[in-house]
Chains A and B, each alone.
Chain A
């Protein structure tokens, strides 16, 4: 199956700093990418949808100025957590699809653990 890779797998940062997480589709062109966050023992919560070359669409309640999403190419999307705080510590997961058709499979990355100290 298609491969989606995230980097880094885990990161620790100081409160107030920014951290960037990358999501790459390794063997297909991803016109649409999604970003999720997941707290322990909870389900995935969709944060935003990004289409290549356009601004991301954020879910209600997600601060777009805090969670900056860039999808500059068909194989790369980035999530930047700005001015991180301990409550932003979570498991962040990206997914990607060729897009355009609801029957297309969506492939997920391995996830990135963020710990803010």
Chain B
């Protein structure tokens, strides 16, 4: 499984934008980049995913580098409810297409 590297933790203030980085230098051409987040004692929640182009949805934006070796999850205005562990995961476009979680980034949001 292609691996991702994320900072262990990041801090933000409420209502400020947050940029969560992810490095995936060994990404293959068929790997999709998925982002999930997990609040304490809950199952992970889907945030966004993409392949090559930048993506936007109501929760966040995903900026993918041109060489696809890194990506950034952008929360445009952080709220206290965005405090969670964010996981950047590569999902193989072939085979069983499973999601293998790394250690993620713990985002702390201060009021």
Binding site for B on A (CB under 8 A): 1, 4, 6, 32, 34, 36, 43-46, 49, 57, 91, 93, 95, 97, 99, 101-103, 105-111, 113
The majority secondary structure among interface residues of chain B is: loop
Check: B111 CB closer than 8 A to any chain A CB: no
Known: A102-B30, A102-B91, A105-B46. A49 touches B96 (CB 8 A): yes
Whether B43 lies near A95 (C-beta < 8 A) is yes
Q: Which positions 42-67 of chain B face chain A at CB distance < 8 Å? A: 42-46, 49, 51
Closest to A104 in B: B97
Interface size on B, residues (CB 8 A): 28
Q: What are the residues of chain A within 8 A of B103 when measuring CB–CB?
A: 43
Binding site for A on B (CB under 8 A): 30-32, 34, 36, 38, 41-46, 49, 51, 87, 91-94, 96-104
Q: How far is the CB of B94 from chain A (nearest CB, A)?
A: 8
Q: What are the residues of chain B within 8 A of A43 when measuring CB–CB?
A: 87, 101-104
Q: What are the residues of chain A within 8 A of B93 when measuring CB–CB?
A: 102-103
Whether A108 lies near B41 (C-beta < 8 A) is no
Whether A57 lies near B32 (C-beta < 8 A) is no
Whether A93 lies near B44 (C-beta < 8 A) is yes
